[in-house]
């Protein structure tokens, strides 16, 4: 079988109908999404294709969701499948020309492939005419084959967020790190094994495409016997997987304008009350007496953490970033960009409609943004909305007791504290629980007293001489390389091609004083216990994501001043950073919030040699330099990939 193919559309055996170029103007300009426009080279004309920016000219009618895909099944032990998908990534419009009847009749929207959204017409980037894109449902260890057809007018890649890619490091979907970007008009085949279970997701890893809508759920289930939480719920339905997204209008990526839940929600430009029937909300249907597994991912591009809760209901939280935890009964949780929580909702309240509530903070709070969806009990009026406004707290359970949240955002309140905070649920009177105190159902995969190789890392901001605000890891702003690091690694000398804190120091560069901008690659040995202490020099929080790895979160706190953070290595030697006890089953995650003027401590075994992106998941921060690459292992330990140079 072909491991990786890179076909031009014209050669592909696809039912695609390309029409002649139009002379009509479109509002799709070439935007400087990336600071490094060399990746935005348009080559499709050379390939003899004339792609349309105007999506209506392109016949994509044969592409749809995967509701009846054969891989969507009850998972059985030992029965894995090969699962094929086509994802067409294309320009589209919220409330576009196809929305003839949908504007007046909600039932017509699906048939017209109309994205109604919040009722504001604005350009989006869709997957198979959907925003968010269609959910992919699989069983653990299935082989996934996805052809991505790039109908955008700019290059794209798809990252499979949470998949370890342990056998296929070249399928991780990061341009110029693990692959070359998929040019407009090209098809790119991703082929990998679903090497773990859980609530994962896929999204574009290029520019602002994720913010325009190129993202979807990737749900990997386990056989009943292997699922430690199988007895806690009766149903695990894809329609209860929620993607929460902060959005902008037109192409103004500077300003967050709304938060949508599965692409829907109230229109904040209108003065209509929340319960006005002209708003369109996502509806989750439940039957009284049953327990439902629900999944939430925040596809956030702004600095907009959200608080999630459901009116009159407790949530039994069972999974963080797709990793099973000891269940925590809470009133809700906070999410930062790219984090996920799964919970069990027991439909044990009076059968009516309830608000599912999402409240935005930071940039979203400045705009007073929040959103609702409807938890609709069988027997309640199907088209009616809950009474009252979305965020209103009502009599009964909600006012009787102080609420409990899984909440890392609480650090925001502690910014001026000069003490290290490491709160465990049983050591504090506060009802909120920090992510660091969650417990995995799996013990940590290393014995007590394991000696970890500690890498100290920092997150910071810097003003460039032209006034541009740059973001940094280890005081270096990332420049993408020309040769893809993984594919072309035999074509360059690491020391000449990469930079990192120690290589720059050996050249006499002082990145605390001068601007350092280069191909930032941090080298870590393979098959070793590794610890990363990541300190934030800014008072903003940063959700950092590691590709290719699941780490255990063993420390998280606020130091409160820059001086301490700059000397965090010394502070750590003095024992001033708290870590969980060695035998604590620390929570497993792939994305975590580094508190403002605070730190996190992550541990993992570096058993996945390759080039793995390490970056902030706030899009503007990542694009402006808060990105690096972890090179795990030496070249001989990394899987051989045929070298192909296209730069
Ligand atoms: Cu950030």
The ipTM, to two decimals, is: 0.86
pLDDT of residue 396: 57
CATH of domain 453-637: 2.60.40.420
**Exposed, middle or buried by CB within 10 Å (0-12, 13-18, 19+), for 641?**
buried
Residues 6+ apart with CB under 8 A from 277: 383, 385
Confidence band, pLDDT 50/70/90 cuts, at residue 49: very low
pLDDT digits (tens, 9 = 90+) for 321-352: 999 999 999 999 999 999 999 999 999 999 99
Residue 351 CA to ligand 1 centre (angstroms): 42
Distance 626 CA to ligand 1 centre (A): 7
Residue 42 confidence (pLDDT) = 33
Contact of 126 with 207, CB cutoff 8 Å: no
Residue 492 has phi, psi (to 5 degrees) of -135, 160
- DSSP class of residue 21 equals P
| Residue 85 pLDDT grade (very low, low, confident, very high; cuts 50, 70, 90) | very high
Distance 508 CA to ligand 1 centre (A): 28
- The per-residue pLDDT for 280 is 94
The confidence band for 412, taking pLDDT boundaries of 50, 70 and 90, is low
pLDDT at 417 over 50: no
CA of 124 to the centre of ligand 1 (A): 23
- Candidate CATH numbers 3.40.630.30, 3.90.1150.10, 2.60.40.290, 2.60.40.420; the one for domain 230-406: 2.60.40.420
Q: Which residues contact 255 (CB under 8 A, 6 or more apart)?
A: 248, 249, 367
Q: Do 6-223 and 453-637 come out as alike in CATH topology?
A: yes
Q: What is the pLDDT of residues 471-518, one digit of tens each?
A: 999 999 999 998 899 988 888 888 788 999 999 999 999 999 999 999
Centre of ligand 1 from the C-alpha of residue 617, in Å: 6
Give the single-character DSSP code of 149: E
From the CA of 305, how far away is ligand 1's center (Å)?
12
Ligand 1 center from residue 368 Cα (angstroms)? 21
Opening angle at CA 388, ends 383 and 394, nearest 5: 125
Cα of 162 from ligand 1 centre, angstroms: 19
Give the distance (Å) from ligand 1 centre to CA of residue 91. Answer: 27
* Cα 623 to middle of ligand 1, angstroms: 10
What pLDDT does 488 receive?
86
CB atoms closer than 10 angstroms to residue 446: 15
CA of 202 to the centre of ligand 1 (A): 20
Say how many Å lie between the CA of residue 10 and the centre of ligand 1.
40
CA of 491 to the centre of ligand 1 (A): 32
Average pLDDT over residues 167-190: 95
Is the confidence at residue 33, as pLDDT, over 60?
no
Q: What percent of the chain has pLDDT over 90?
A: 74
How far is ligand 1, taken at its centre, from the CA of residue 541, in Å?
7
* 457 C-alpha to ligand 1 centroid (Å): 14
Q: Is the pLDDT of residue 23 over 80?
A: no
pLDDT at 267: 92
In the reported structure, the alpha carbon of residue 542 is separated from the centroid of ligand 1 by a whole-number distance in angstroms of 4
Distance CA 210, CA 213 (A): 5
- State how far the alpha carbon of 194 is from the alpha carbons of 191, 291, 611, in Å: 10, 27, 19
- Separation of 619 CA from ligand 1 center, angstroms? 8
- For residue 362, the CA-to-ligand 1 centroid distance in Å is 13
* Across 274-288, 439-453, 632-646, least confident range: 632-646
| Reported confidence tier of residue 400, pLDDT bands at 50, 70, 90 | low
Q: How far is CA 249 from the centre of its chain?
A: 20
495 CA to middle of ligand 1, Å? 27
Q: What pLDDT is attached to residue 608? A: 96
34 pLDDT tier (thresholds 50, 70, 90) = very low
* Between residues 569 and 62, the one the model is more confident about: 569
The DSSP symbol for 459 reads: E
Of residues 28 and 505, the one with the higher pLDDT is 505
Tell me how far the alpha carbon of residue 215 lies from the centroid of ligand 1, in angstroms. Answer: 19
Q: What separation in Å is there between the alpha carbon of 369 and the centre of ligand 1?
A: 20
Alpha-carbon distance of 380 to 386, in angstroms, equals 10
Ligand 1 centroid, distance to 304 Cα (angstroms): 11
Contact 112, 96 (CB under 8 A): no
pLDDT band at 429 (very low <50, low <70, confident <90, very high): very low
28 pLDDT higher than 70: no
Q: What is the CA(596)–ligand 1 centre distance, in A?
A: 10
473 CA to middle of ligand 1, Å? 10
The CA 460 to ligand 1 mean position distance, Å, reads 9
Residue 68 and residue 82: Cα distance in Å, rounded? 15
Q: What is the pLDDT of residue 394?
A: 66
| Spatial separation of the C-alpha atoms in residues 113 and 129, rounded to whole Å | 6
Q: Is the pLDDT of residue 446 over 80?
A: yes
**Tokens standing for 207?**
């520019």
Span of 361-365, 400-404, 537-541 with lowest mean pLDDT: 400-404
Distance (Å) from CA 543 to ligand 1 centroid: 6
Cα(162)–Cα(200) distance, rounded to whole angstroms? 6
Pick the CATH number of 6-223 from 2.60.40.420, 2.40.100.10, 3.30.2020.30, 3.90.78.10: 2.60.40.420
Structure tokens at 239: 């329609």
pLDDT at 30: 34
User: What is the pLDDT averaged over residues 567-580?
Assistant: 94
Segment 149-163 mean pLDDT: 96
- Burial annotation 399-409 (CB, 10 A radius, 16+ → b, else e): eeeebbbbbbb
Q: Would you put residue 486 in left (φ > 0), alpha (ψ -120 to 50) or beta? A: alpha
Mean pLDDT, all residues of the chain: 87
CA of 328 to the centre of ligand 1 (A): 28
Nearest Cα residue to 160 out of 85, 217, 77, 86: 217
Instruction: Lay out the sheet containing 598-605: strands in order across.
Output: 469-473, 453-463, 529-536, 598-605, 551-558, 588-589
Q: What's the CA-to-centroid distance between 624 and ligand 1, angstroms?
A: 10
What distance in angstroms lies between residue 545's CA and the mean position of ligand 1's atoms?
Answer: 10
Task: Delimit the domains of the chain by residue range.
Answer: 6-223, 230-406, 453-637
436 Cα to the center of ligand 1, angstroms: 19
**Of residues 335, 336, 320, the one with CA closest to residue 543:** 336
For residue 53, is pLDDT > 60?
no
CA of 535 to the centre of ligand 1 (A): 12
State yes or no: pLDDT of 647 exceeds 60. Answer: no
Q: Assess whether pLDDT exceeds 90 at residue 181.
A: yes
Q: How far is the CA of 337 from the centre of ligand 1 (A)?
A: 10
Residue 201 has pLDDT above 80, yes or no: yes
Given a cut of 60, whether residue 221 has pLDDT beyond it is: yes
240 C-alpha to center of ligand 1: Å?
29
**pLDDT for the residue numbered 124:** 96
Those residues whose C-beta lies under 8 Å from the C-beta of residue 502, and which sit 6 or more positions away, are: none
């Amino acid at each position: 079988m072909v491991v990786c193919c890179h076909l031009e559309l014209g050669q592909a055996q696809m039912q695609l109908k390309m029409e002649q170029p139009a002379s009509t103007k479109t509002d799709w300009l070439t935007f400087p999404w990336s600071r490094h426009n060399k990746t935005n080279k348009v080559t499709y004309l050379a390939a003899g294709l004339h792609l349309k920016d105007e999506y209506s000219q392109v016949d994509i009618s044969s592409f749809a969701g995967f509701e009846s895909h054969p891989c969507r099944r009850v998972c059985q032990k030992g029965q894995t499948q090969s699962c094929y998908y086509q994802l067409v990534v294309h320009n589209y419009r919220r409330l576009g020309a196809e929305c003839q009847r949908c504007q007046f009749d909600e039932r017509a929207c699906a048939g017209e492939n109309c994205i109604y959204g919040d009722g504001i017409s604005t350009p989006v980037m869709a997957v198979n005419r959907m925003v968010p894109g269609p959910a992919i449902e699989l069983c653990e260890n299935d082989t996934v084959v996805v052809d991505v057809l790039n109908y955008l007018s700019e290059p794209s890649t798809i990252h499979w967020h949470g998949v370890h890619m342990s056998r296929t490091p070249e399928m991780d979907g990061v341009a110029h790190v693990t692959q070359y970007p998929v040019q407009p008009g090209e098809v790119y085949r991703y082929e990998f094994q679903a090497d773990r279970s859980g609530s994962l997701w896929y999204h574009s890893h290029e520019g602002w495409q994720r913010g325009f809508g190129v993202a979807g759920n990737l749900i990997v289930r386990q056989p009943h016997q292997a699922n430690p939480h199988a007895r806690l719920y009766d149903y695990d339905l894809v329609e209860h997987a929620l993607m929460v997204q902060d959005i902008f209008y037109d192409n103004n990526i500077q300003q967050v304008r709304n938060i949508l839940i599965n692409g829907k929600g109230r229109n904040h430009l209108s003065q209509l009350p929340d319960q006005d029937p002209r708003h369109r909300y996502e509806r989750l249907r439940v039957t009284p007496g049953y327990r439902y597994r629900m999944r939430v991912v925040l596809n956030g591009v702004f600095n907009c953490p959200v608080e999630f809760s459901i009116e009159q209901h407790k949530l039994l939280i069972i999974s963080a970033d797709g990793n099973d935890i000891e269940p925590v009964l809470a009133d809700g949780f906070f999410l930062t960009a790219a984090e996920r929580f799964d919970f069990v909702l027991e439909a044990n309240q009076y059968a009516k409609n309830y608000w599912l509530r999402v409240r935005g903070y930071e940039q979203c709070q400045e705009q007073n943004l929040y959103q609702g969806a409807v938890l609709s009990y069988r027997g309640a009026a199907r088209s009616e909305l809950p009474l009252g406004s979305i965020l209103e707290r009502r009599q009964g359970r909600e006012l009787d007791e102080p609420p409990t949240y899984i909440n890392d955002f609480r650090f925001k309140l502690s910014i001026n504290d000069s003490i290290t905070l490491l709160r465990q649920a049983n050591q504090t009177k506060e009802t909120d629980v920090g992510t660091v105190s969650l417990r995995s159902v799996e013990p940590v995969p290393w014995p007590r007293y394991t000696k970890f190789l500690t890498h100290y890392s920092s997150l910071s901001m810097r003003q460039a001489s032209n006034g541009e605000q740059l973001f940094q890891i280890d005081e270096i702003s990332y420049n993408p390389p020309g040769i893809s690091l993984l594919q072309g690694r035999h074509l360059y000398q690491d020391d000449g091609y990469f930079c990192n804190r120690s290589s720059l120091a050996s050249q006499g560069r002082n990145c605390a004083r001068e601007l350092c901008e280069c191909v930032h690659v941090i080298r870590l040995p393979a098959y070793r216990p590794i610890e990363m202490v990541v300190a934030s020099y800014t008072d903003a929080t940063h959700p950092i994501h590691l590709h290719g790895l699941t780490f255990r979160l063993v420390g998280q706190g606020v130091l409160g001043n820059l001086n301490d953070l700059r000397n965090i290595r010394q502070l750590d030697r003095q024992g001033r950073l708290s870590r969980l006890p060695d035998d604590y089953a620390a929570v497993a995650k792939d994305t975590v919030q580094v508190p403002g003027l605070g730190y996190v401590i992550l541990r993992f075994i570096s058993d996945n040699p390759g080039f793995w992106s390490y970056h902030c998941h706030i899009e503007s921060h990542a694009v402006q330099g808060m990105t690096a690459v972890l090179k795990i292992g030496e070249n001989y330990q990394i899987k051989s990939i045929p070298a192909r140079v296209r730069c």
